[in-house]
A and B are shown apart, each in its own frame.
Chain A
Amino acid sequence: AQRVTQPEKLLSVFKGAPVELKCNYSYSGSPELFWYVQYSRQRLQLLLRHISRESIKGFTADLNKGETSFHLKKPFAQEEDSAMYYCALSHFNKFYFGSGTKLNVKP
């Protein structure tokens, strides 16, 4: 069965520090993976699609099939990055989400 695990509920870093938000998945086929961001009391917004290998707002994510991971990274965190981040996996166009990681960037 498909599953997405985000092991950290909360991640606190100082402004300017590197950030890595962890995402591990369980899936038997070739996964389609995504990262979403949700700012306080707002709707979820698509941040990254692994298939397009984009960099959005300085964030990148690399699919590691050997480790079944899709960690989200940013070299220098900004205060405006504080938000909830969700990793998601698409299975026949149904999306399954992890439980989310709250990123807190301290000044």
Chain B
Amino acid sequence: NAGVTQTPKFQVLKTGQSMTLQCAQDMNHEYMSWYRQDPGMGLRLIHYSVGAGITDQGEVPNGYNVSRSTTEDFPLRLLSAAPSQTSVYFCASSYSMGDGGNYGYTFGSGTRLTVV
């Protein structure tokens, strides 16, 4: 199993450009999430999905779109990049345990995005 795979690992964008961060998991996990990690602020949830075709907003969704057409893929789209979106982005996936609890998220290796 590859686990959670994110591409690209690094990206530099100009203000106003758009791009898509790719995320794929091969563990058949139902839950997938996108986080951004900023110094001193920990990880903040951007968007979230409980299964194919179902997405929801997290704490900081503005400026980002997601879709989940398959169980495996959960791309994050930056519509019009801004310097405030300079961050490290992590994709993660998880599943429920038999008792209804969560097993815990498995994280990708991250995408380091710089917007100039």
Contacts and interface: CB of A to CB of B under 8 A. Distances in A.
A93 B110 contact: no
B40 A99 contact: yes
Interface string A22-50: 00000000001010000000111110010
Contacts of A93: 31, 50, 94, 96, 102
A43 B110 contact: yes
A6 B101 CA distance: 23
Contacts of B103: 49
B45 interface: yes
Interface in B86-113: 90, 92, 94, 96-97, 99, 101-110
B98 to A, nearest CB: 12
Interface of A: 6, 9, 32, 34, 42-46, 49, 51, 86, 90, 93-100
7 contacts: A44-B90, A45-B107, A46-B106, A86-B42, A94-B58, A95-B92, A97-B44
